[in-house]
Chain A
């Protein structure tokens, strides 16, 4: 398959870009942050997003969605990255929808997927526990109790965890931290007894929470996928999330770069446009090349996910690793080349730097994915 967008995909990009840049430019995020908005995103805008079919983009048509693929999800994420719009799209429409669609039984799918597609249900995956993304280190305990289970432990960096209507919780039903065997996913109502949710105000002013589980009772019906065997399902769902975040980082990098190049063409010092200085020209050119290479790697990974999620791991590792280093470079050069202005809160560029740092940690940073590639290649 050619590594260029089809006509339909270009149209999707144009409509996503039009909607997002019009309704949710960076000033939208700034307003949510400054007003300490308790929700952290615009519910009204999420409903228009759903009406346009974006909320159910990955949901199969039989459940009321658009039944599109990961390349299309990546296109929307890239546009989100351009304006840093806080949105349930990643947690609900990409990660949770994929988990339910790939791991759910018929009853679970028909209960939750139509609600995701209509924009009426927010869901999220609760996976990380420590400071770094280590899925196999999951140690939140799920102990059998009667016909069901009791969950105890804590989760961190649960995206949209403070507003979600459904938590998909990775827990350990057997084995010990570090092992692939013994992981199970549970569908949990955040209002259940024993759950304490603390919204964490993050550096990027996006939405996340820490969630504690103290003997939370769930029924056997709430198991998503196979008991003890969630590692395979998680691999796929996380890779889908990684592809999406990598796309967001491509959009973010491209936007920061575009703004920076414009600044080089307008700012004068020493009687010259600073873009005339070769030292800056070469750094800008290197960054451009880095972004284009990363863009191709991310497209490749999204196409690999569309072809077969189970075989996409190394393409995804390359994409997420590259996206992390490229976005980090883009925002640092962005701030540096904007000089003192880049350091001010009044200027938007700092928002990009903050979001890039969070995207880098989400679902594994560049070091994590580079390490995964080395292991998969056996050295």
Chain B
């Protein structure tokens, strides 16, 4: 990096810091503790608090809900280096993301790469502004790990497709405005070759959703049914029957997103949380030597993974990243997050077992613990991730 670039980046850092200090409400500078603390946008979105609204609107107006997207599509137009600085400055004051969105994390990057100009102009600004909430129609009852065997049919009818079939594990489908969906447009082709990636409105005639009650007692996922849903062919992203390319590219982003789950480095350290319930021994150490050892091992691995995540971004910037590396990160990040919650449950003891009470915030910890068990399943199971690493990175035979 040249001296001028370094100086410009420093100027940007000073400006960003000043703006965040002036504009991020104090209530938005601590980690989210419940679902209501997370703003997802959409047609029916409601703010759970005034600071949440103010923070979202200020960031949206600055283009910083999607800082590195081009300005013409509602983004902030920041370079990769500036984006890294902004993330660091937000982390410095503990600022929450103003908007959570599958549009930002998954669809946006795929549209930027594969979408035509009309699709980008139509959808990206609405994602950036939190106007439309998206859901992902990928898995089906008989197409989980083997996603490419999906059977939802899209039959040609003039300028439209008529879509019939069922999706499952559709996150927040019951709240979503639009869906990005994988459908089979050529049932005679080999399984990876007859798939298209298509967008449609969830209020279209023939779409219905049914929430699935999970072991956490919550229903973040739905079954989603399509009964002769009419969708213009113009809504296909990329080439018809080449949707698998788009799907895979999007999955890399999904896996990167899931590997980052688990509030790394945010909030109170595990050792302190455990000290609240377990207490110290005579020398001020956690009064449970085995638990203390587990936490210390966790902390080592978590710090190392954080370094690896940072390096993955730097490698991508330098053009040296392996495209399948997000599978490696997804595997490790999700397994680590499950470890975090096993430790939290052990640390909390009896207090972490309460399911319904004000005191326990309606069982926040045990429900979150159970939720993490899906981390190593959704977006590709740990076993699928290891298979991808073995095949695509290590080039092992067969499989």
The chain A residues found within 8 Å of chain B, CB to CB, are 2-4, 261, 264-265, 272-273, 275-276, 278, 281-282, 284-286, 288-289, 292-297, 299-300, 314-315, 317-319, 321-322, 369-371, 373-374, 377-379
Contact = CB atoms under 8 A, between A and B. Distances in A.
Interface in B299-320: 299-301, 303-305, 307-308, 310-311, 314-315, 317-318, 320
22 contacts: A2-B317, A4-B314, A264-B396, A273-B397, A281-B399, A285-B386, A285-B394, A289-B389, A292-B328, A293-B301, A293-B307, A296-B304, A296-B308, A296-B310, A317-B300, A318-B307, A373-B300, A378-B271, A379-B269, A379-B271, A379-B272, A379-B295
B396 A288 contact: no
B387 to A, nearest CB: 7
A379 B396 contact: no
A297 B301 CA distance: 9
B150 interface: no
B348 to A, nearest CB: 15
Contact of A276 (B332, B385, B396): B396
**Interface magnitude class on chain B:** 35 or more
Contacts of A284: 390, 394, 396
B296 A286 contact: no
A264 B398 CA distance: 12
Q: Which of A264, A275, A282, A292 has most B Cβ within 10 Å?
A: A292
Interface in B268-293: 269, 271-272, 274-275, 284-286, 292-293
A379 B391 CA distance: 42
B297 interface: yes
A318 B296 CA distance: 10
Nearest to A300: B307
A379 B289 CA distance: 10
A303 B228 CA distance: 59
B71 to A, nearest CB: 26
B293 A299 contact: no
A277 to B, nearest CB: 8
B318 to A, nearest CB: 5
B389 A288 contact: yes
Per DSSP, chain A at the interface is helix
A282 B304 contact: no
Given A281-B391, A299-B307, 7 more contacts: A2-B317, A261-B394, A264-B396, A275-B396, A284-B394, A292-B325, A314-B303
Contact of B275 (A265, A299, A379): A379
Contacts of A314: 303
Given A261-B396, A285-B389, A379-B275, A3 B310 contact: yes
A289 B335 CA distance: 12
Contacts of A374: 271, 285, 292-293, 295-296, 299
Contacts of B73: none
B383 interface: yes
Nearest to B81: A2
B386 A282 contact: yes
Interface string B240-275: 000000000000000000000000000001011011
A118 B318 CA distance: 36
Nearest to A322: B304
Nearest to A372: B296
A276 B398 contact: yes
A294 to B, nearest CB: 6
Contacts of B399: 276, 278, 281
Nearest to A317: B300
B40 interface: no
A4 B307 CA distance: 11
B390 A285 contact: yes
B273 to A, nearest CB: 9
A304 to B, nearest CB: 10
Given A285-B389, A300-B307, A377-B269, A293 B398 contact: no
A352 B285 CA distance: 37
A297 B269 CA distance: 19
A85 B168 CA distance: 56
Contact of A273 (B315, B328, B398): B398
A261 B397 CA distance: 11
Contacts of B285: 374, 379
A324 to B, nearest CB: 10
B12 to A, nearest CB: 17
B331 interface: yes
Q: Which of B297, B332, B387, B394 has most A Cβ within 10 Å?
A: B394
Contacts of A278: 387, 399
A282 B387 contact: yes
B314 A297 contact: no
B393 interface: yes
A276 B275 CA distance: 47
A306 to B, nearest CB: 15
A2 B314 contact: yes
Nearest to B297: A370
Interface string B362-383: 0000000000000000000001
Contact of B315 (A4, A275, A282, A322): A4
Contacts of A272: 398
A370 B300 contact: yes
A286 B386 contact: yes
Nearest to A371: B296
Contacts of A315: 303
Given A276-B397, A282-B387, A318 B303 contact: yes
Contacts of B275: 379
Contact of B307 (A3, A265, A317): A3
B299 A296 contact: no
B304 A288 contact: no
A315 B307 CA distance: 10
Given A2-B317, A289-B332, A377 B303 contact: no
B394 A379 contact: no
A281 B386 contact: yes
A315 B285 CA distance: 21
Contacts of B394: 261, 281, 284-285, 288
